[in-house]
């Protein structure tokens, strides 16, 4: 199957700082990438969908100015958590799919802890 990586796997930051998480498709061109958030012992919640070269589409209730998503190339999407606060601490997971594909391939996730 297709491989998706995320970097970093874990990050700890101070409240008020910004954190960037990278999502890469290693062996395919990802025309669409998705960002999810997973709370402890809860399911994954879709935050936004991004198509390469276009602005991301955010789900209801997700602040686009706080969670900046960039999908500038067919192999890389970034999620920047701006002015992070402790309530932003969570597990962030990306997934990617190719043109006409019928499956999303998931990255291993990034654990963000905001102190």
Partner 1 sequence: AQSVTQLDSHVSVSEGTPVLLRCNYSSSYSPSLFWYVQHPNKGLQLLLKYTSAATLVKGINGFEAEFKKSETSFHLTKPSAHMSDAAEYFCVVSPSGGYNKLIFGAGTRLAVHP
Q: What angle do CA 55, 61, 58 make, to 5 degrees?
A: 15
Sheet holding 19-25, edge to edge: 4-7, 19-25, 76-81, 67-73
Asked if 108 is part of the footprint of partner 1 (rule: CB under 8 A), the reply reads: yes
Q: Name the token pair of 103.
A: 């499956």
The contact mask relative to partner 1 for 6-35 (x = CB under 8 A, - = no) is ---x----------------------x-x-
Indicate which single residue of 16, 83, 85, 103 sits in contact with partner 1 (rule: CB under 8 A).
Answer: 103
The residue count for binding partner 1 (CB under 8 A) is 25
Mark the segment that binds partner 1 (CB under 8 A) among 40-48, 60-68, 69-77, 82-90.
Answer: 40-48
Q: Does 45 bind partner 1 (CB under 8 A)?
A: yes
Angle of CA points 6, 65, 33, to nearest 5°: 35
Q: Quickly count: other Cβ atoms within 10 Å of residue 15's Cβ.
A: 12
Residues at the interface with partner 1 (CB under 8 A): 1, 4, 9, 32, 34, 36, 41-46, 49, 93, 95, 97, 101-109
């Amino acid at each position: 199957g297709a491989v998706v990586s995320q970097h970093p796997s874990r990050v700890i930051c101070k409240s008020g700082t910004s954190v960037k998480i990278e999502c890469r498709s290693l062996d395919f061109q990802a025309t669409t990438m998705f960002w999810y958030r997973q709370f402890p012992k809860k399911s994954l919640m879709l935050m936004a969908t991004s198509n390469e070269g276009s602005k991301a589409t955010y789900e209801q209730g997700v602040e686009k100015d706080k969670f900046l998503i960039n999908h500038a190339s067919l192999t890389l999407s970034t999620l920047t958590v701006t002015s992070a606060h402790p309530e932003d601490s969570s597990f962030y997971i990306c997934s990617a799919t190719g043109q006409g594909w019928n499956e999303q391939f998931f990255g291993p996730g990034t654990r963000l802890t905001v102190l």
